[in-house]
Each structure stands twice: as structure tokens, then as C-alpha cells.
Structure 1
Amino acid sequence: MSLLKLPRVVLRLILVALWVIVGLLCVGLVYPFLSLSARAWLNRYWSRRLMSFCGIKVVVSGEALLTGPVLWVANHVSWIDIFVVNSVRATAFVAKSEIRSWPLVGWLAAGAGTLFIERGQRHAVQAVSEAAQARFRQGAAVGLFPEGTTSVGDTVRPFHASLFEPARIAGVPIQPVVLRFLHHGQRSPLASFVGEETLAANIWRVLGETGLCVEVEFVAPLSTQTAEGQPMTRLELSKQARSAILERL
């Protein structure tokens, strides 16, 4: 890293660290006394400020469903994704259980209501499905990264369809969300968190840069019926969501 970037990284690390401490204190001391709507407002505000402290601009387009239950389905590029979407609306994301053990990011994701799935466990999908339906009944937004892993952001891997089932059963709108990462106005994999890179190394690189931007596009909710008027299966819904994201990526 250039020595010119070092002061920027140090300053941002201090700001982020202090903001994370504020977030953890809110989760532990304030959340128990807040209503669901107040928690949602606090999540959104905290996430917006976090992105600002990281030097990341968030640009939103499309008609996001900001009230009522919804399943938001997004492509997955980085640890940043959860906080970018939460800056628009507080969202309980379904995420791999490994994230829970990540320093700071994992603690905050848990505090924000993330639904962790134990991959490889027989009853994992059923448990997450029940938790998601409980959130839907509360009128909440649930987020899903159906690829199951991250990419550099230029394509979309095949989707796992099983976690579309809770929204299909509940009749909840399913809205695709497209995340595009830019660096000084050009599409870039700079912030992507892939391969064997450590979380610390990725955060260090991101905090050292200027001109990072995430474009968040909310696509129209999916059709839930076939041309013949029959309810779509979870596989059909997952294919429709992937196509909608891929053509706008």
C-alpha cells in the first residue's frame, strides 16, 4: 500500500471501530427497549453511516418495496453487501454460519438479525425457513444471496432454489436486487471478497481507496404464476430471479 494511503486507512479504521462499538452497545443495551420499527430505523441509519465511514457511496435506483414483508434476492460480491442493503431498509439476511464467527462483521450481522444457516446440516434449511416465515409475519424484509458464495461481481453463479420456498408458501413478494461495484465510475472487482483472501486484508484494501461506489438497483417483483396461470415452483422462481439480475448486471 502506498504511504499516501496509510493516514486514510488509519483514520477510517478509527471511525469504523468507534462506530462498531456504538453498534454493539446499541444491540446489547438499547435494542431490548425498542419497537421493531425503531430497531429498523436504527439499523438503516447505522448502516448508512458505516458505509460513509468506509468511504463507500451508495446509489439506489428502482422501486424498492419499503413496507410489508418481502424477500430481497441479490447477487453477492462482498461483506459490504449486507450493510449496503440495510442502508435502504433493515433486512434480515440469510447467511452462512461462518459469518457469525467473523470479528466485528459477524457480531454486527448477528445483532442486525441475520438468519444463519448451518450448511451441510440436515435440518438447516427447515430451521431457516421457519425463521424467515416468522419475519414475514412481522412484516419484515428478508434478504437472500442464492449463489451461496461471493463472486467478483461480473456474473451470477447458479442459484440455490430451496430458500425461495418460505416466500412462495407465504405469498410474499420476491424482488431481485442488483449490486454493481464501481471504482471511480468504472466497474471494478476491487472490493470483492473472494478466494483465499482474509477479511482483514479485504477491509484494509477497501478502506485505503477513494471513489468506491455501490449501485443498488431494485427490479420489479417476480411474477408468481406461469403463463398458464399455475403457481411457479421455487426452481422456476429462482431461475426468473437469476435472469432478472444477470441481464442488468
Structure 2
Amino acid sequence: MSATLGDQQRQPGPSGPLELAQAVPLAAWRLSRVLLHVLVAYVRSYLVWPKLDEQGWHDETARWSSKLLTILGIELSVQGQARPGAKLVVSNHVSWLDIVAINSVVPSRFVSKAEVGQWPLVGRLVTAAGTLYLVRERRRDAMRVLGLMSKAMREGHTLAVFPEGTTGDGHGVMHFHANLLQAAIDAPAPVQPVVLRYSDPQHAVSPIAAYVGDTTLMQSLWWIVTARGLRVHAHILPLQTVAHADRRALADLLQAQLSDSLHLQNH
């Protein structure tokens, strides 16, 4: 799908001169506040974050993430409650916003590609938040990351992964890859499924948030900062134990649970 075709099908952004005239000031206002919010976090990552205990880090992460959603004009709706303590959060993947949404309700350490750590400003924040980096070019690096994940969960941390391995359009849940789920089995630590859905006043499943196809980061950011009424729904499903689990069977079970929940929300 080309970016042009995608724009024609989805049309998530302004579509006329009047809308554009209204959207530009809104986008400028939101983006300036986002930049300030990130800069404050950058300073705090050196001066404050290293002094925080586990609960302090959780509170800081949830507060910062919730405020970022507010700055972007995104409302957060939460159903269910996560269990405290060590666990592996497993979620469907729609957008780069997913990390912010999850951290607003279940502060977690994420697994990310190594390149993210090199991004200006954001890379520092992601690293300081305890992100575990996977070097995809190294065939055996997944084993190293699995060991770090298991160790972190044994130490009481919450980690989060997106087993689909890529983003979808939000209408369904794609096949779950089982590899990273092995870390929960090895720890052992329970799995906390979280279903994410984005809606807007015109759509139960909003095309605005979906970061798919040939969509660029700048396009995605523009659609989001010019949107009105965007809402993210986080449905926290019951905790899933992993005792004596097979990772592939666990992946199939979790994928079915999230898919069924999303289907019910969409209808």
C-alpha cells in the first residue's frame, strides 16, 4: 500500500483548507508542549530518576506517560487492573503510542530494537527507563535478551513485549511469536495480557493511531497531533499463569484471548 493510497483510504488528517487552518495551530501547540515535556524528562533522567526506588519509578513513569497522552489530546479509558509485582505484559501492537498507553496503566520495561537507543533525546529516556535492547543483526542475541528478561522478572520487575512483532490496523490480533514468552516461563513469572484499542468520534477502531504500511513517523505524528476526540482503551485481562507451559501453546492461548476481547469491543 502506498502512502498516497493509504491517505485516500483512511483520510485521518485534515482534508480541506479550513480544517488545515484550524489544525496547524493545534499541532503547533501540542508539539511545543510535547517537546517541553520530553526536555523536562531528559533533565530528570539525570537528576531524579537514578535516585528513585521501584515504586518511585512506577509512579514517575505512569505520571509522565499519562500527561503525554493528555498533551496529545488523547483520553485514556481503563478496564481491569494489573496485578502488582513481577510479570510479563503482553499486548497487541497498533502504534508507537502503545508504549505510552501501557506505561500509563502498567509501568513496564520494554524490549526494543537497539537503534532506538541512538535516537536524539528519546534514546536517553528509553535507556534510562530500563529498556532491554535487542540487536536483530546478531542471530543469537535473542538468547541474551531472554536471559536478561528472566533475570529482571526474578528481581521483581514488570516487562512488556508485543508478540506480533509488528503493528496492525487495530481491527484484529495477528499471529503471536512465542520466542520472548519463554522468558516468563523461565523466570517463572505470570503473564498480564493487555488489549489496546483506539477510537475516535467517527470510528470504533480509529485509523488515526494505526502506524502501518508505508506510513511514516511524521505522518503518524501529524495525524495524532491534529486529531480531536482520540481515545485509547486499555483492557487488562486476567493474569495468566505459566507453570509447566509450552511457549507455543502459551502464545496461541494469549493470541486467542486478546483477539476475542478485541472482537467483543469492536462489536
TM, length-normalised to structure 1: 0.92
Q: Relative to structure 1, is the Cα distance of residues 105 and 147 closer, same or farther in structure 2, using a 3 angstrom cutoff?
A: farther
For 1:141, give the aligned amino acid. Answer: T
Question: What's the CA shift string for 1:55-111, capped at 9, x where partnerless?
Answer: 11111102312x110101000011100011111132001123343344554443333
Is 2:247 aligned against 1:234? yes
For 2:228, what is the secondary structure of its paired residue? coil
Unmatched 5+ residue regions in structure 1? 226-230
In structure 2, what is the equivalent of residue 93 of structure 1?
110
Cα RMSD of the aligned pairs, angstroms, is 1.6
On the 8 A contact 1:24/1:111 being kept in 2, the answer is no
Is 2:128 aligned against 1:128? no
Fraction of identical pairs, as percent? 35
Question: What's the CA shift string for 1:196-222, capped at 9, x where partnerless?
Answer: 222122112100111001100111122
Q: Relative to structure 1, is the Cα distance of residues 104 and 57 closer, same or farther in structure 2, using a 3 angstrom cutoff?
A: farther
Q: Relative to structure 1, is the Cα distance of residues 69 and 134 closer, same or farther in structure 2, using a 3 angstrom cutoff?
A: same
CA distance in 2, matches of 1:107, 1:204: 23
Is 2:91 aligned against 1:74? yes
Is 2:180 aligned against 1:163? yes
For 1:115, give the aligned amino acid. Answer: L
1:62 to 63, 80, 85: 80
1:109 to 126, 129, 134: 126
On the 8 A contact 2:154/2:188 being kept in 1, the answer is no
Q: Relative to structure 1, is the Cα distance of residues 44 and 100 closer, same or farther in structure 2, using a 3 angstrom cutoff?
A: same
For 2:105, what is the secondary structure of its paired residue? coil
CA distance in 2, matches of 1:104, 1:156: 32
On the 8 A contact 2:154/2:189 being kept in 1, the answer is no
For 1:53, give the aligned amino acid. Answer: I
CA distance in 2, matches of 1:140, 1:128: 15
In structure 2, what is the equivalent of residue 228 of structure 1?
none
On the 8 A contact 2:89/2:161 being kept in 1, the answer is yes
Question: What's the CA shift string for 1:24-68, capped at 9, x where partnerless?
Answer: 111122222222221221111111101100111111102312x11
In structure 2, what is the equivalent of residue 46 of structure 1?
64
CA distance in 2, matches of 1:146, 1:27: 29
In structure 1, what is the equivalent of residue 217 of structure 2?
199
TM, length-normalised to structure 2: 0.86
In structure 1, what is the equivalent of residue 154 of structure 2?
137
In structure 2, what is the equivalent of residue 245 of structure 1?
258
For 2:255, give the aligned amino acid. Answer: R
For 1:221, give the aligned amino acid. Answer: L
For 1:244, give the aligned amino acid. Answer: Q
Q: Which moved more, 1:116-125 or 1:46-55?
A: 116-125
Is 2:216 aligned against 1:181? no
CA distance in 2, matches of 1:215, 1:75: 12
In structure 1, what is the equivalent of residue 52 of structure 2?
34
Unmatched 5+ residue regions in structure 2? 1-13, 15-19, 263-267
CA distance in 2, matches of 1:34, 1:62: 27
For 2:258, give the aligned amino acid. Answer: I
Number of corresponding residues? 243
Q: Relative to structure 1, is the Cα distance of residues 197 and 108 closer, same or farther in structure 2, using a 3 angstrom cutoff?
A: farther
For 2:75, what is the secondary structure of its paired residue? strand
In structure 2, what is the equivalent of residue 11 of structure 1?
29
